Amino acid sequence: MRKYHYITIEREYGSGGTKIARKLASITGVPCYGHEILKAVSKKYNFSIENIERYEENVPNSLLYTIYALSQATSANPDMVSKEGHIFLAEQDEIRKMSGEGPAIFLGHCASEALKERRGVVKVFIWATEKDKRNRIVEDYAIPEHEVESIMKRFNRRRERYYYANTTKRWNDFTNYDIVLNSSELGIDGCVAVLGSLLADIPE
């Protein structure tokens, strides 16, 4: 019997969050959904993944937009929702459908918001020191050192804006999460071990 069925992961760019999630899925046999969410939305609504990512990156970062978007998302007139809002709603719908297939690990896309009515959800945030993030971006992603700073800021800004626009919460506010992991301190395997213990079956 599992106490926890879903792990939602938000992570700093370069923290190793994606690697942790994929390795966790490989070890536990629990499916991991990240880019797969975009693929599902792309296929269903005939949006290119590039356009979806562009909408996510350009979502307005203002409280007024957020209040408007959330109110329209629950209204009876979906045509009044912005393009960014439609993308968000489509992603949330896919996340809920994927969760209906059983235990799962979700990477980004405000998955904790989609599953807020579900039981057995653990909200996780993964971070790392600036030095380790820079090293990982260069070594794992093959990004030239002179581009690391701008790319890191771009991805983190995109994640922060998208999260805030659709939840009214701060992406990097640790109080929004159940578990916060420092991958610099624990390492990839250490983070996997911590999260793996949450998905383990507990004797009845």
Phi, psi angle pair for 139, to nearest 5°: -80, -45
Q: What is the CATH number of the domain that holds 109?
A: 3.40.50.300
Residue 29, domain member (yes or no): yes
Beta strands in the chain (DSSP E): 6-11, 32-33, 104-107, 121-127, 179-182
Residue 204, domain member (yes or no): no
Residue 202, domain member (yes or no): no
Residue 116, domain member (yes or no): yes
Tell me what pLDDT residue 27 has. 95
pTM for the predicted model, two decimal places: 0.85
Tell me what pLDDT residue 200 has. 76
Residue 140, domain member (yes or no): yes
Tell me what pLDDT residue 67 has. 47
Residue 203, domain member (yes or no): no
Tell me what pLDDT residue 204 has. 47
Judged by DSSP in three states, 13 sits in coil
Can you tell me which residue has the tokens 């579900």? Answer: 118
Residue 1, domain member (yes or no): no
Task: Report which of 168, 176, 164, 172 is spatially closest to residue 56, judged by C-alpha positions.
Answer: 164
Structural domain including 121 reads 6-197
Task: Report which of 131, 126, 141, 133 is spatially closest to residue 192, judged by C-alpha positions.
Answer: 126
Tell me what pLDDT residue 45 has. 78
pLDDT in tens, the chain (204 residues): 668 899 999 999 999 999 999 999 999 999 999 999 999 988 887 878 887 787 777 665 544 444 445 555 445 444 544 566 677 788 889 999 999 999 999 999 999 999 999 999 999 999 999 999 999 999 999 999 999 999 999 999 989 988 888 788 999 999 999 999 999 999 999 999 999 999 876 444
Phi, psi angle pair for 60, to nearest 5°: -60, 140
Tell me what pLDDT residue 76 has. 45
Phi, psi angle pair for 117, to nearest 5°: -95, -5
Per the structure, the count of domains in the chain is 1
Judged by DSSP in three states, 128 sits in coil
